[in-house]
Amino acid sequence: MRILVAAASKHGSTAEIATALAAAMRHRGAQVDVVPPEQVGSVDGYNAVVLGSPVYRFRWLRAARAFVRAHEDALRHRDVFLFSSVPVTKGLRAANSSYGVSSVENRTGARGHRMLTGKLDPARLGAGERAIARMWGVKAGDFRDWDAIGSWATEIVDRVSEHDVPEEDHIVTAGQADGRR
**What does the binding site for ligand FMN look like in residue numbers (CB under 6 A)?**
9-14, 54-58, 85-87, 92, 96, 118-120, 125, 129, 132-133, 138
d(CA 68, CA 93): 23
**Cβ–Cβ under 8 Å, residues 3 and 133:** no
Cβ proximity to ligand FMN: between 2 and 114 the closer is: 114
Minimum Å gap between C-beta 170 and ligand FMN is: 39
Cβ proximity to ligand FMN: between 54 and 110 the closer is: 54
Minimum Å gap between C-beta 169 and ligand FMN is: 40
Minimum Å gap between C-beta 139 and ligand FMN is: 9
d(CA 98, CA 14): 20
Which among 5, 37, 35 is positioned nearest to 116, based on CA atoms?
A: 5
Across 42-74, b (16+ Cβ under 10 Å) vs e yields: ebeebbbbbbbbbbbeebbbebbbebbebbeee
Minimum Å gap between C-beta 19 and ligand FMN is: 12
- Residue of minimal Cβ distance to ligand FMN: 118
Cβ proximity to ligand FMN: between 91 and 109 the closer is: 91
